[in-house]
Amino acid sequence: MNMSYRVFQKRLECGMTLIEMLCFMALALCILIGIFLATVIIESWYGWLLGVALGFLLFFIPLMALAVLKDLWSGSGLPKCRNGCCRGPGNFSGYGDYDTQKSGEEYYEVCKCGDRYKRHGKRFVLVNEDGTETPYLIWRRFRGWYPDEGQPCRVR
Ligand SMILES: [Zn+2]
């Protein structure tokens, strides 16, 4: 049992390094392309400098675009609380009024009003005192948070 765990661990590490290596290669390639473009367009010493900057842009803009698309698709962060006074962390800022608290085996997002919430995939539900859940908001792809009028969530 220990063996298989270690093999799994090893695979995981290899996977990570492979991804990191690919990222690094992509970055290096982007910088090279950037330098090439810049030195061809601007035939001067600072073409190199511009090329490196261009390379970073080439590398990071698609990454950021992907991150934004992923956020719009699945909805990251948390919406406003039911009282409308506490804001969740946005797509780009990690700050918000919610505080993640652990109660038993469950994690809750507690806003400043003291209400407990939980994220179930696309749903953001209010957790009542007795542990039951009231549908609150649902994330609609590319459109944002909408009132959740669907069937009540099952308690997991
Ligand atoms: Zn609140």
Mean pLDDT of 56-68: 88
Between CA 61 and CA 51 the distance in angstroms is 15
CA 47 to chain centroid, in Å, comes to: 35
Band (pLDDT 50/70/90 cuts) for residue 16 is low
State in Å: Cα 108 to ligand 1 middle.
13
Confirm if 135 and 128 have CB atoms less than 8 A apart.
no
Q: Which residue has the higher pLDDT, 114 or 71?
A: 114
Mean pLDDT of 71-84: 87
Residue 156 in this model has a pLDDT that exceeds 50? no
State in Å: Cα 68 to ligand 1 middle.
26
pLDDT tens, residue by residue, 90-146? 655 567 889 999 888 889 999 999 999 999 989 999 999 998 999 999 999 888 899
State in Å: Cα 152 to ligand 1 middle.
21
State in Å: Cα 78 to ligand 1 middle.
12
Residues 6+ apart with CB under 8 A from 80: 86, 87, 88
Total Cβ atoms within 10 A of residue 78: 21
State in Å: Cα 120 to ligand 1 middle.
19
Work out whether strand 133-140 and strand 123-127 pair parallel, antiparallel, or are unpaired.
antiparallel
pLDDT of residue 152: 53
Q: What's the length of the chain?
A: 156
State in Å: Cα 112 to ligand 1 middle.
5
State in Å: Cα 105 to ligand 1 middle.
23
Confirm if 34 and 58 have CB atoms less than 8 A apart.
yes
Residue 12 in this model has a pLDDT that exceeds 80? no
Band (pLDDT 50/70/90 cuts) for residue 155 is very low
State in Å: Cα 97 to ligand 1 middle.
8
Confirm if 141 and 73 have CB atoms less than 8 A apart.
yes
Mean pLDDT of 15-44: 82
